[in-house]
Amino acid sequence: MDDTFDDINEHSFDDDGSDNGNEDNNNDNNGNNLNQVLQARDDLPPGPGHAVIQQHATGGQQAHLHQEAMISSQDHDFQSQVHVVTRPMVGPERSHIPEPRPQNVETEESTCSICFDSWTNSGKHRLVSIKCGHLFGESCITKWINQNAGGNGPAKCPECNLATNRRDIRRIWSKSVVVMDTVEKDEANARAREEREARLRCEKELANSRLAYEMLSNELTDMRKKHDRQRALKARYRAEVKQLKMVYPEREIVKHFSYVTARTIPITARAPVATQYLAYRQDEEMLVYSRQMGEQHGIAKVSMRDFASTYHDFIPVHSKPIKDVRCYTGQPGINKAFILTASLDKTLKITNALSKQVLLTYVINSPLYFVALRFCALIN
């Protein structure tokens, strides 16, 4: 096939371009050329294709001839048409013409902002940058700097008005310049960073919650064990007392027990009020005593079952020292938490030890030193 193209390329035209005297010869030559093209077409593999035939003129003059011919064939080897294009040669030998590269670059991203013409890789309008980083054609930015530099100071960048001069011009060797929009990428990275920080905070909170849960679970287990021991001890004591009551009279039961000090609870009081008033609730096994904390006067309760759990349970009640404390024992099982207190502030108060709230307040005309609690009510 290459020999066929070489034979076709050897055909030339006269320098004067006249075809009057050799019209028949030209027609014969054209016919021969067409036959050679058909023969070259037969040598091609089956399927659609394009053959490019380039000719050049002898004697140094190029003949600008553009001829396109669509040749149809009924042969069984071809199922479509062959597109034959004839173009002039640029030199004595055939040169390879590469396919044009698709232009995906935006116009405003590949043109000079001064002259709005495309940048080049060489020549006067080649791609350059200045100190601020903006891109221009070299001839345009040089002319701009020369025209704007003067008595008012150095020239400024046409884009950002940053001072610049000819020494700041830097050439850039690049086939194409594409500006990538990173706004969405930066936003996505920021969101990812926020999500990562939130996840780390959640993981830290989860770890702290698990640690607190384990500590509370262990504490609950210890309290349950302690409660079971105390309940078993209480049941054993009650069984012993019940057996003694069946054998001995109640007066003689005390003789069979020896009292020892189980625990000492220090109670401090500020002078001049050093007297503490106590009250005991037998069914609840709770000891209540008056106490002063700072300028507040109130009551503190201590469980005989567990001294440490309620020792610091302070309830502020009065503004002056308390002179007497009584626990309600009229009906066991009802209103167990009622505590009556009398104070020098001329008030009488009933407090709920469970909710730590003052329920009733009675104002008296004189200071109180003693109080008694008795249940009384109407029949209905």
Residue 336 counted as domain residue: yes
| Same domain as 21, residue 52 | yes
- 11, 29, 154, 198 from 24: Cα distances, Å: 15, 9, 73, 90
Lowest mean pLDDT among 155-164, 304-313, 333-342: 304-313
| Same domain as 79, residue 115 | no
Residue 197 has pLDDT above 90, yes or no: yes
Q: What pLDDT score was predicted for residue 84?
A: 41
Q: What pLDDT score was predicted for residue 267?
A: 62
297 strand-pairing partners:
292, 318
| Same domain as 358, residue 319 | yes
| Same domain as 234, residue 295 | no
**CATH number of the domain enclosing 164:** 3.30.40.10
Q: What pLDDT score was predicted for residue 117?
A: 83
- DSSP labels for 286-340? EEEEEEEETTEEEEEEEESS-HHHHTT-EEEEESS-EEEEEE--SSTTSSTTEEE
Q: What pLDDT score was predicted for residue 378?
A: 43
Residues 6+ apart with CB under 8 A from 41: 51, 71, 73, 82, 84
Residue 274 has pLDDT above 60, yes or no: no
Residue 14 counted as domain residue: yes
Residue 368 counted as domain residue: no
Question: Given pLDDT bands bounded at 50, 70 and 90, which one contains residue 211?
Answer: very high
Phi-psi region at 60: left, alpha or beta (left = phi > 0; alpha = psi -120 to 50): left
Q: What pLDDT score was predicted for residue 251?
A: 65
Residue 68 counted as domain residue: yes
User: Biggest alpha carbon distance in the chain?
Assistant: 163
| Same domain as 230, residue 199 | yes
Residue 223 has pLDDT above 50, yes or no: yes
| Same domain as 289, residue 341 | yes
Per-residue pLDDT, averaged over 252-260, amounts to 66
Q: Which class for 210: exposed (0-12), middle (13-18), buried (19 or more C-beta within 10 A)?
A: exposed
| Same domain as 359, residue 314 | yes
Q: Cis ω on the peptide bond leading into residue 92 (within 30° of 0)?
A: no
Residues 6+ apart with CB under 8 A from 154: 163, 164, 165
| Same domain as 10, residue 74 | yes
Q: How many CB atoms lie within 10 A of CB 298?
A: 20
CA 129/CA 376 separation, integer angstroms: 102
- β-strand 82-88 against 49-55: which pairing, if any? parallel
| Same domain as 283, residue 206 | no
Question: Given pLDDT bands bounded at 50, 70 and 90, which one contains residue 178?
Answer: low
Residue 186 counted as domain residue: no
Q: What pLDDT score was predicted for residue 51?
A: 38
Q: Which class for 317: exposed (0-12), middle (13-18), buried (19 or more C-beta within 10 A)?
A: buried
| Same domain as 332, residue 288 | yes
Give the whole-number percent of the chain exceeding pLDDT 90: 11
Q: What pLDDT score was predicted for residue 252?
A: 66
**Counted domains in the chain:** 4
Residue 176 counted as domain residue: no
Per-residue pLDDT, averaged over 9-38, amounts to 47
Q: Decide which of 335 and 38 is more confident.
A: 335
pLDDT tens for residues 62-91? Answer: 434 344 434 444 444 444 444 444 444 444
Among 55, 88, 121, the domain boundary falls at 88
Question: Given pLDDT bands bounded at 50, 70 and 90, which one contains residue 48?
Answer: very low
Residue 126 counted as domain residue: yes
Nearest to 302 by CA among 320, 323, 279: 279
Domain that holds residue 324: 278-363
Nearest to 53 by CA among 30, 37, 70, 74: 37
The pLDDT mean for the chain works out to 70
Lowest mean pLDDT among 32-41, 144-153, 330-339, 341-350: 32-41
Give the whole-number percent of the chain exceeding pLDDT 70: 56
| Same domain as 235, residue 297 | no
**CATH number of the domain enclosing 286:** 2.40.10
Per-residue pLDDT, averaged over 346-373, amounts to 86
pTM for this model (two decimals)? 0.35
Q: Which class for 28: exposed (0-12), middle (13-18), buried (19 or more C-beta within 10 A)?
A: exposed
Residue 228 has pLDDT above 60, yes or no: yes
Question: Given pLDDT bands bounded at 50, 70 and 90, which one contains residue 272?
Answer: very low
Residue 251 counted as domain residue: yes
